[in-house]
Amino acid sequence: MRKPLMTANWKMNKTVSEAVGFANNLKLVLRDAQDVEVVICPTFVALSEVSKILEGSSAKLGAQNVYMQENGAYTGEVSPLMLKELGCKYVIIGHSERREYFKEDNELINAKLKLALKYQLRTILCVGETLAEYQNNQTIDIVKAEIREGLAGVDKEQMGRVTIAYEPIWAIGTGKTATPNDANKVHKIIRKIISDMFDIKTGEKMRIQYGGSVKPDNISALMEQSDIDGALVGGASLSVESFIKIINYGKKD
């Protein structure tokens, strides 16, 4: 049984004081989420303070990015060693905004992912197609290439620390979302890709999140699908009230 993973990706939002306020409020309302794993990914500058607040809670700390070197003359970058010391358990790698705005390709993403895994960080590998690729029926080709190249050199033992987030780029921040059924079809294909790369057991154990305009009013329909194992949440994770509804999608008030 795959435990759902709900990840809050705040992107470049919230000052340190705002992040602290959110984390404190979340602790007050977060139930002991035994059946759902919760990860909060603030900006780098807020990681230290949010880590202190989340200590002892069921929520885990994650980072939005990492660099592919342990240390050195890489101005403005953050290594996995630094993230580990701050208490990070997770890191998002290959988000569509990193691919688009910062021109990160599959080779660079693969290098980041392998170094993060070396330091026992759990990784969330983001994959997904643009609107043009979607309209040209290239979804599967794009997703397959991003997975195969992003996971090159990763072994089966390490795959236990990898989650894949399918995020159709045309649905991120647009208010549009793939229908639950359509999203699930891609998730099934992703699971088959993983099974072909490794084995069926690895494919079945793989958690695959959906990302792309996830909100409290569509999370239940998404989570009813057989192969959707959680959500990578952007805008709807900036409000405690909104995010807690997503976390508690299957529970009555």
Rounded-to-integer distance, Cα 16 and Cα 49, Å: 7
Residue 253 in any domain: the answer is no
Residue 84: phi and psi, rounded to 5, are -60, -45
- Position 32 scores a pLDDT of 63
How many domains are contained in the chain?
1
Output DSSP code: residue 247.
H
Q: Are 91 and 65 in contact (CB under 8 A)?
A: yes
Give the count of beta carbons closer than 10 Å to the beta carbon of residue 167. 27
Q: CA angle, corner 207, sides to 202 and 213, nearest 5?
A: 150
CATH number at residue 71: 3.20.20.70
Catalytic residues: 95, 167
- Position 170 scores a pLDDT of 86
Instruction: Quote the domain boundaries for residue 9.
Output: 5-247
Rounded-to-integer distance, Cα 83 and Cα 86, Å: 5
DSSP H helical ranges for 151-179: 156-159
Rounded-to-integer distance, Cα 21 and Cα 229, Å: 28
Residue 14 in any domain: the answer is yes
Residue 149 in any domain: the answer is yes
Q: Which of 8, 102, 111, 120 is nearest to 64 (CA)?
A: 8
Q: Are 243 and 8 in contact (CB under 8 A)?
A: yes
**Locate tokens 């996995």: which residue?**
80
Residue 52 in any domain: the answer is yes
- Position 251 scores a pLDDT of 75
Rounded-to-integer distance, Cα 240 and Cα 234, Å: 12
Residue 252 in any domain: the answer is no
Residue 72 in any domain: the answer is yes
- Position 141 scores a pLDDT of 97
- Position 171 scores a pLDDT of 82
Residue 93 in any domain: the answer is yes
The structure's pTM equals: 0.96
Residues 6+ apart with CB under 8 A from 21: none
**Locate tokens 């072909």: which residue?**
196
3-state SS assignment for residue 188: helix
- Position 252 scores a pLDDT of 62
Rounded average pLDDT per 10-residue block, the chain, 253 residues: 96 98 94 84 98 95 98 98 98 97 98 98 97 92 98 98 95 80 97 98 98 94 97 97 93 64
